[in-house]
Structure 1
Amino acid sequence: MEHTLSKREAKKIKSKKNIIQSAIVLFAQKGLKDTSIADIMQKANLGIGTFYNYFQSKDDLLRSLLIQLAMDIRQHYLESINKEKTQAQVLEGLVLYTANLLDQNRFILPLFMRAVDRSALTIQPHVSIKKPLPFKDIFDEIIKTGQDNGEFRSDIPAEIITEMFHSLFQSASFSSLPLKYQENIRYKLNLVLSGIILK
């Protein structure tokens, strides 16, 4: 039996989406610190009290954005393993897809890097993600599969290679070179891939 949304449910979904989209725009324009909940709700054209129907705090909203980002990356990975022929193609596509998401949402990059680098995945000292982000595991899985099938070098632990790929996002964000973020990632990606692919 197909479930149809009531007007109230549809309105709640629309309001939550509106809050998230307004926050994304303001975080990108003003930064996380200088964007208040009042700013977000004014842009969303909703009362401040409505915010708390969906989120406990600004940190809770950030956590939701971060989890959504990780889910998008995982979905892209699942779709790509059915399309691409080699693990190198899957890996390259995943890195470029992630770089594009982070470039569009630069405000979340520091949180994303902290979440990826820590097993506890703490965003702020008082805010933590209960479920691990499925990001490191994806890279490890691709690299280990490539090593098992003889596509990638196996003399280097997969976890070391995974760390190298994660460092691409961070180093590109702090780069002083006159390159766009995604272009910087692409150059570094080619170097790393050339170092692990067996000819």
Structure 2
Amino acid sequence: MSKKEDIFKCGKEIFSSKGFKKTSIAEIAKLAGIGVGTFYNYYSSKEQLFLEIYIEENENLKKRLFESLDLEQEPLELINQLVTKNIEAVNTNPILKEWYNRDFYKELEQYYRQEGSKNLDSFRSLYTELFKAWKSAGKIRADIDEELLPVFFDSLVYIDTHKDEIGIQYFPQIIQYLAEFILKGLTDHPR
């Protein structure tokens, strides 16, 4: 294992037990068996290390969630299950829980606003395929353009990355309600 991998592993271990704010670079370096100066050869800051750890955890969560879902369920059931499982996972994973921690979420939001669309592509392609399948099966309104369908869920990501402006006290419940409202609107066929 390389030094960078050691730092990553040790950082993840300490962040998981103490959280972002209470973790110091000195603790990470000590656990990794290196000096603090060596830490800076691989990471410019504690924030950079945490961000890499967070991104990996988030990607792993998305994979596990989609592997655990029955994609044959009705759209509303599937989306409710997906959002509920995501919220439960975030609340039980100390790394992912930082998404709602005022000490760090602004940096995470900034990353996802600037670079995050690249990391969300796999997630987006999955729900785009789901929408196409649902539309061809008649489970989603035919009058809504196929290219517009994924934008509804893209808007949830946008809202989630602006939780401070909206009011963090409403999260993650607002995302759960909005996902449900969007799906009800997409599956309620006009008369």
Counterpart for residue 65 of structure 2: 76
CA distance, structure 2, for counterparts of residue 20 and residue 72 of structure 1: 15
Aligned residues: 167
The answer to whether the 8 Å contact 1:81/1:90 transfers is yes
Task: Give 5+ residue unaligned stretches, structure 2.
Answer: 100-104
Counterpart residue number, 1:196: 186
Q: Greater relative contact order: 1 or 2 (C-alpha under 8 angstroms, separation 6 or more)?
A: 2
Q: Which amino acid aligns with 2:14?
A: S
Residue of structure 2 equivalent to 1:104 = 97
Q: Equivalent residue of 1:134, what SS?
A: helix
**Residue of structure 1 aligned with 2:176, choices 168, 177, 186:** 186
Does residue 94 in structure 1 map to residue 82 in structure 2?
Answer: yes
| Distance in 2 (alpha carbons) for counterparts of 1:136 and 1:22 | 31
Letter in 2 for 1:17: K
Cα distance in 1 for partners of 2:143, 2:116 equals 24
SS of residue in 1 equivalent to 2:185: helix
Match of 2:52 among 49, 57, 63: 63
SS in 2 for 1:90: helix
% same residue? 20
Whole-angstrom CA distance in 2 between matches of 1:105 and 1:150: 39
- What are the equivalent positions in structure 2 for 1:7-18 lying under 5 Å apart? 16-18=8-10
- Deviation at residue 51 of structure 1 after TM alignment: 4.0
| Residue 19 of structure 1, CA deviation | 0.7
CA distance in 2, matches of 1:51, 1:153: 53
Task: Extract unaligned runs of 5+ from structure 1.
Answer: 1-8, 122-128
Q: CA deviation at 1:161?
A: 2.6
Q: Shift of the alpha carbon at 1:164?
A: 1.9
Assess, with a 3 A threshold, how the Cα gap between structure 1 residues 44 and 104 changes in structure 2: closer, same or farther: farther
- Pick the structure with more helix per residue: 2
Q: Mapping of 1:145-184 within 5 angstroms?
A: 145-172=133-160, 173-177=163-167, 179-184=169-174
Higher alpha-carbon deviation: 138-147 or 172-181: 172-181
User: Counterpart of 2:102?
Assistant: none
Relative to the length of structure 2, the TM-score reads 0.64
- Matched residue type, 1:40: I
For residue 42 of structure 1, what is the aligned residue in structure 2? Answer: 27
Q: How far 1:26 moved relative to its partner?
A: 5.0
TM-score w.r.t. structure 1 length? 0.62
